[in-house]
């Protein structure tokens, strides 16, 4: 009902004041309900837009994480790769680094054993020197140990094999470097 008709109704004496007020209340109630439905529709649209923004933000975060992972893997740095390729190469690289770390840990353990043996020999030599009982027949059992490869190494020759001659210059043992396997 148009507002002009409501105003005419309120001025019409035949219906009386209470009837006009009732019509006005009905009109206001209808307008309020219409506004409420409209505001609910807007809030639903706002909720949908908010949800879409959150989802877009989540997808962007995942995308950025994959780019960071891709750039962390030497075989993929700067290259364009699918998510499956990124995960596959990252898995390979992690396995390679675990093997490399394990090898390094074995080397560390071997060096710690050698250190302990050398410290023990130093203490024995200091004790022997203190007692003036140093002999030339120092036990070969305590001066040799076996490295991981099974060859005898003397604690007195800096870790070189016992078969090397005294006239040859000593070179530090070279370590084999592992490289990631590319498939």
pLDDT in tens, 67-108: 999 999 999 988 899 999 999 999 999 999 999 999 999 999
What's CA 149's distance to the chain center, in Å? 35
pLDDT in tens, 110-122: 999 999 999 999 9
pTM of the model: 0.47
Rounded (10°) angle between helices 83-131 and 16-72: 50
The C-alpha angle 158, 161, 164, rounded to 5 degrees, equals 100
Contacts of 103 (CB under 8 A, 6+ apart): 178
Q: Three-state DSSP class for 41?
A: helix
Q: CB atoms < 10 A from the CB of 73, how many?
A: 21
């Amino acid at each position: 009902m148009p507002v002009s008709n409501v105003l005419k109704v309120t001025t019409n004496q035949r219906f009386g004041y209470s009837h006009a007020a009732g019509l006005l209340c009905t009109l206001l109630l209808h307008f309020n309900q219409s506004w409420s439905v409209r505001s609910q529709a807007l809030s639903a649209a706002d909720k949908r837009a908010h949800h879409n923004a959150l989802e877009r933000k989540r997808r962007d975060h995942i995308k950025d994480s994959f780019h960071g992972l891709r750039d962390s893997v030497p075989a993929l740095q700067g290259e364009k790769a699918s998510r499956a390729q990124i995960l596959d190469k990252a898995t390979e690289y992690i396995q390679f680094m675990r093997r490399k770390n394990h090898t390094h840990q074995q080397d560390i353990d071997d060096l710690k054993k050698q250190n302990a043996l050398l410290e023990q020999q130093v203490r024995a030599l200091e004790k022997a020197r203190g007692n003036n009982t140093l002999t030339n027949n120092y036990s070969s059992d305590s001066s040799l140990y076996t490295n991981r490869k099974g060859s005898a190494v003397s604690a007195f020759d800096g870790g070189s094999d016992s078969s090397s001659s005294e006239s040859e210059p000593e070179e530090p043992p070279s370590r084999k470097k592992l490289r990631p396997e590319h498939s």
